[in-house]
Chain A
Amino acid sequence: MSDEETLLTVEDLVMYFPIRRGIFQNVVGHVHAVDGISFNIKRGETLGLVGESGCGKSTTGRAILQLYKPTAGKVIFQGQNLVNLRGQKLRAMRRQMQMIFQDPYASLNPRMTVEQIIGEPLYIHNILKGGAVRTRVEELLKLVRLNPAYSDRYPHEFSGGQRQRIGVARALALQPELIICDEPISALDVSVQAQVVNLLEDLQKEMNLTYLFIAHDLSMVRHISDRVAVMYLGVMAELADREDLYSNPLHPYTIALLSAVPIPSPIIEAKRKRIILKGDVPSPVNPPTGCRFHTRCPLAVAICTEKRPEWREITPNHFVACHLVESPNTERMKTSMTGHR
């Protein structure tokens, strides 16, 4: 990155959801969806956020936009802590942060035309009125490589990939700085996924956008991201530059995750040895003590069950939370994944 300015800083973000039971709706526990994570995003970069379902990656995205009020922590965007903002001030900041959703079928109102969908943010934020909206919508449609004549059509007239483009156009309507892409391609067919990813990359170059790209597809995240963060059960496991993370993973979870991804090459697949993690991800209602990953970690030792590992910068820009970083066992685990490069 030439421009090293930090656009967004997340500090010790915590997001608990209460679980209520009984006739008085007493709070009987909490879902620990996000439990103290910190990272930043630089202007113009793409930060990939990966993890399995339920690890808190989508919650993180929503808590950044203040769609959920974080339980604790700071979200600093352009120098302002969004957590403290309310009403008008928050709405003004929201203009600069938009979201693209996973399901292009559920995220567009079926009773609204494309013009109404893409124009809605312009109305809400009082940017344009009347005929000017139409012109802007047509511009935006062109920008996402759709025919501007489609303005009066309804979402059901479009394919999944086209709908996702409409979602992208809506997100761009307010010329935001930051776009949170919450699994934007996982509902699309393989051949169409590449179209949408290429579009996102082109738009980023043209408009100097900053992306938080949330996904579970590690190969797509590697393709699109500058830096990648790996989450597990509400906490950050590892964060590093893309090449560094994929070629030199330090957290046992990252190593296992990378080894589990199938590679579309029979020759590499035949040589690879998979690290198969045992069991399932534990419940975030009652997360394990110490390191969250210790119940499935093939390397876990006594300290892992007792003490939560610190979030440390091991080498420049390479953060990891593990007691066993660069221990001989982690190294051995890494080298056992032959075929992984």
Chain B
Amino acid sequence: MPEILKVQGLETQFHTHDGVVHAVNGVDFHLSEGETLGLVGESGCGKSVTMMSILHLIPAPPGKVVAGQAFFQGRDLIPMPDEELRHIRGSQISMIFQDPMTYFNPVISIGKQVAEPLEIHLGISKNEAESRVVELLNLVGIPNPRERYKDYPHQFSGGMRQRAMIAMALTCSPQVLIADEPTTALDVTIQAQIVELIKELRDKLGMAIIWITHDLGIVAGLADRVIVMYGGYIIEEAAVKTLYAEPRHPYTIGLLGSLPSLSKSRRERLASIDGIPPVLFRKATVCPFAPRCAYRVDKCFAENPMLIDVGLNHRAACWVDTQTRKVRA
């Protein structure tokens, strides 16, 4: 599959009163057409900032993309003027967010808000837009779309608002959908509805998806490939089955071990990772995970490991080969 998005050397910083926060520290990845990529990590690891940097959604100041490129259909999005990027954002690349209550404007009806991208990007008149929006609301499984069109966000339940947000993201048939923890605020039965809906829409519309989450369970059933981030770096990347079967970075190993599972039959002690995620006031010159790592060696405190190939389409950033416990040269 041809690449639709290629990100290279992306670095984003935030200038705060307490100092410079190095949120993203040189991230490289690509997305192929029609592929679903899981972007996994804990809060503050830089997963959302990475995607928001690409779409110029980082508030500046305090934020700033200080380096890197992001090629979408051959064009670099990072230096692009906002005016030009606006034609891509929301039409060819669109985004859905975690909290559907704060995402919508509470004083404008849902229908009008979902219609907005149609008017802005495609120049479709309000009247024509209405029938298209009703179609979209129907597509995302909102019952009585013609009546719900006039409802306001507070009249929708959490799950329904999330559906409306998906409808809004799909109005211009995007090639890439960025989903930033879209089910985190939802109950498990509603989460299952939304994940199922997005899978269906993906198969129907053939778009590529980047799914940002901290939930390794959701990614397992949804993604083709997974990227794990920690401390503003990508620390492991692999096809979904490879990652869960043979995680190679100590952080990924720890994360998978710390999950209780419905399929584990015995009550055993959870393998926890000691310590807490790092605060990113300094750009790491050593491995950011080293203080918490069960495999750490002296080298980890001397130099930050690069992502290297550890298998077929499998990359990890660690000085230690976690399978043999040998230090890499």
Contact = CB atoms under 8 A, between A and B. Distances in A.
Interface of A: 52-53, 159-162, 189-195, 197-198, 201, 216, 218-220, 222-224, 242, 246, 256-270, 272, 274, 276-277, 280-281, 339-341
Contacts of A276: 189, 192-193, 196
Given A191-B272, A223-B270, A272-B221, A265 B263 contact: yes
Contacts of B265: 341
A280 B270 contact: no
B269 interface: yes
Counting from the closest, the 5 A-B pairs by CB-CB distance are A262-B217, A269-B221, A223-B260, A194-B272, A194-B258
A197 B270 contact: yes
A288 to B, nearest CB: 16
Contacts of B277: 189, 191
8 contacts: A189-B43, A191-B258, A192-B273, A195-B273, A198-B269, A219-B260, A266-B220, A339-B263
B215 A262 contact: yes
A220 B190 contact: no
A219 B262 contact: yes
B34 interface: no
B221 A280 contact: no
B203 interface: no
B170 to A, nearest CB: 20
Given A191-B254, A281-B187, 11 more contacts: A52-B189, A160-B276, A162-B276, A190-B258, A191-B273, A191-B277, A216-B187, A220-B260, A246-B262, A262-B215, A264-B217
Size class of B's contact patch? 35 or more
B43 A266 contact: no
Contact of B262 (A159, A261, A270): A261
Contacts of A259: 192
A339 B259 CA distance: 18
Contact of A195 (B241, B255, B256, B274): B274
Given A191-B254, A191-B258, A194-B272, A265 B244 contact: yes
B260 A260 contact: no
Contacts of A220: 260
Contacts of B217: 219, 261-264
Contact of A219 (B192, B256, B261, B274): B261
A257 B188 contact: yes
Nearest to B223: A266
Interface in B246-290: 254-256, 258-263, 265, 267, 269-274, 276-277
A304 B159 CA distance: 25
Interface string B211-228: 000111110110000000
Contacts of A192: 272-273, 276
B191 A258 contact: no
A260 to B, nearest CB: 4
B42 to A, nearest CB: 4
A262 B244 CA distance: 14
B131 interface: no
Contacts of A274: 192, 196
B269 to A, nearest CB: 6
B181 to A, nearest CB: 13
Nearest to B260: A223
B262 A267 contact: no
